[in-house]
Copies of this chain bind each other. A is one copy, B any other.
Amino acid sequence: MNPTKRLSYAVIGTGALGGLYGGLLARAGVDVHFLVRSDFEHIRNFGLRVDSPLGNFHLERVSCFSRPEDMPPVDVAVVAWKTTANGVLAETLRHVCRPHTCVLVLQNGLDVEEAAAACVGSNRVLGGCCFLCCNKLGPGHIHHLDYGRIAFGEYDDELAGYVSPRMLSIAADFQFAGIDAQPCQDLKTVRWSKLVWNIPFNGLSVVLDADTREIMLDPSSAALAHSLMVEVQTAAKHCGCTIQDRHLVKMLEDTRKMVPYDSSMRLDYRGKRPMEVEAIFGNPLRSAQAAGYRPEKIEMLYEQLCFLDRANRGGTHH
């Protein structure tokens, strides 16, 4: 990959996240192709609409596909759908990837790169966390509310610790498109840092049926959110990742100032779609336990969400 030349991209999954970042890249003239599932007809006919603090825009025509086998070869495949769709990821990547293609996994949670690594090899996988508030309002219509930074890095342990040339190329393309993409040397710590927010606020928003503002305004739920953050910090420490206290303070402050926000997990729960319980809760919990630490409250939240996820999708006991 030549850092002076723009790369080509396949966006795997055109929901809130894929629609926003892919849309920004396309608006900037970068070569982007979208794999679209539920909204394919709409996006093919009407394009992609993005409401964003970065400027509203409407792409009347985008290169979109309903089947991965129809897509052109690209330099970077961006995995932008939820981990709950990963059942078809291997087959999808087989169609989209050429030998030189690398895969950038922009999913929430821990160890979410494993599925892509099993398919193309871990040395061709990058992972990233998106710090953003973004929802899909309707077919092909994305609403970007706030934030938007992507922190990303190499997944392979051998490649961790430094910023690779392909990371610089991707960062250059994204920044050219107005996306705050930050190359990071330590993807694991980035993932744990994101979990500091996702574990309390995704989890409690579902269990307490509350948005971020309601959780932060009540002293009991705000205290619980903080306790959960401390457990994530302690779990990260046991897994070799240091998260500073000031990161917790900033996450709480940012959330307090945030517009009332429904986490993606709450939206999935309300839409009776599967929640990303294993990626965001099960994997970090098992990593902590394997490292000799038992985060009691994360465990409890995980068990509550497992129950609610099954009940929500018509568990046989309901």
Contact, CB under 8 Å: B214 / A317: yes
Which segment of A16-24, A143-151, A219-227 sits at the interface?
A: A219-227
User: Contact residue range for chain A?
Assistant: 20 to 34
**A303 touching B217, Cβ below 8 Å:** no
Question: Which residues of B have CB within 8 Å of A227?
Answer: 296, 299-300
* A291 close to chain B: CB less than 8 A: no
- List chain B residues, Cβ under 8 A from A303: 220-221, 223-224
CA distance A2 to B258 in the complex (A): 68
Asked whether A210 is an interface residue with its Cβ less than 8 Å from the other chain, the reply is yes
CA distance A296 to B227 in the complex (A): 9
A208, CB-defined interface residue at 8 Å: yes
Complex: A301 Cα to B311 Cα, angstroms:
20
A308 to chain B, nearest CB (A): 7
> Is A297's beta carbon under 8 Å from chain B?
yes
Name the residue in A214, A297, A299, A304 with the highest tally of chain B Cβ atoms < 10 Å from its Cβ.
A304
Q: How far is the CA of A215 from the CA of B315 in the complex (A)?
A: 12
Q: How far is the CA of A207 from the CA of B206 in the complex (A)?
A: 10
Q: Quick one: which of A286-318 are within 8 Å of B by CB?
A: 296-297, 299-304, 306-308, 310-311, 315, 317-318
Contact A304 B210 (CB under 8 A): no
Q: How far is the CB of A275 from chain B (nearest CB, A)?
A: 13
Bound complex: CA A204 to CA B304 (Å):
9
Q: Is the CB of A307 within 8 A of B213?
A: no
A218 at the interface (CB under 8 A from B): yes
The 7 closest A-B pairs by CB, nearest first: A296-B296, A220-B306, A217-B317, A220-B303, A224-B303, A221-B307, A297-B300
Question: What are 27 A-B contacts with C-beta separation under 8 Å?
Answer: A204-B304, A208-B304, A208-B307, A208-B311, A210-B307, A210-B311, A213-B317, A214-B317, A215-B307, A217-B317, A218-B306, A218-B310, A218-B311, A218-B317, A220-B302, A220-B310, A221-B304, A223-B303, A224-B303, A224-B307, A227-B296, A227-B299, A296-B296, A297-B299, A297-B300, A300-B300, A300-B301
